[in-house]
Amino acid sequence: AAINEALAESGAASLKQMGIVMKAAQARLKGKNVDGKTLSEKVRSRLA
């Protein structure tokens, strides 16, 4: 859900914009124990 919100918020459509989505998703997940690599893989799969 946080990834979908981050994608919608950033308007990212390509892997070149992955950093923007990661930053937004990490901000939404702050305080939760989320593995950065797992998050990165999920964001990458959504943008691919």
pLDDT of residue 44: 95
pLDDT of residue 41: 97
Residue-range definition of the domain harbouring residue 38: 2-47
Q: What would the pLDDT profile of 3-41 be if each residue is shown by its tens digit? A: 999 999 999 999 999 999 999 999 999 999 999 999 999
Q: Domain total for the chain?
A: 1
Helices (H), 1-48: 2-10, 18-28, 36-47
CATH number of domain containing 25: 1.10.10
User: What is the distance between the alpha carbons of residues 15 and 20, in angstroms, rounded to a whole number?
Assistant: 10
Global pTM value? 0.84
Residues near 4 by beta carbon (within 8 Å), at least 6 away in sequence: 46
> Quick one: tokens of 40?
């990165």
Residue 1 — very low, low, confident or very high, per pLDDT cuts 50/70/90? confident
